[in-house]
Amino acid sequence: MAQLNALSQPEFVSVIGPAFENSPWIAESTWPKRPFADMADLHRALCSTVNQASEDKQLELILAHPDLAGSAALARTLSSESTHEQRRAGLDQLTPEEMASFQKNNQAYWNKFRFPFIICARLNKREAILRSFPIRLGHSRDEEIKTALEEIGKIAYLRLSDIVET
């Protein structure tokens, strides 16, 4: 942590920024809150930045995430972090029926909420993710924004664990 706390803002953003999908503004806005006691303290500060952001910035963060087993995965244009996470959930080994189910559910979710379905893939396997779609489709938009931000927090914690360990 001492090394992270000593980084300049651009260095900090370069190292910590990838914890939040294509959203370096979070690390940039959190950098002045240094020093961080430990990784949990850093994670709390980063999540606080997200929670205190405007709804527009929060939606920008949510929209930065790709669909699970979506077109970006098929085109191999996901971030390295998302590629690894989707692979760990088995989303690179879907049967044709599962792929069709993901596509149908992703589209239904997008049509209802106007942002992608977000779940921490590293904490779920493809079967659990597929079971989550109908439950979450029953939620309100406000509930899903809250849920998406909670899931993003879980994703960021695991990514931070990888960053701090290496």
Give me the active site residues, please.
65
3-state SS class at 69: coil
Measured CA to CA, the distance from residue 25 to residue 50 in angstroms comes to 10
Establish how many alpha carbons lie within 13 A of residue 140's alpha carbon, considering only the half-sphere containing its beta carbon: 3
> What letter does residue 11 receive in the DSSP assignment?
H
Cis (ω within 30 of 0) for the bond into 96? Answer: no
Amino acid in the structure at residue 67:
D
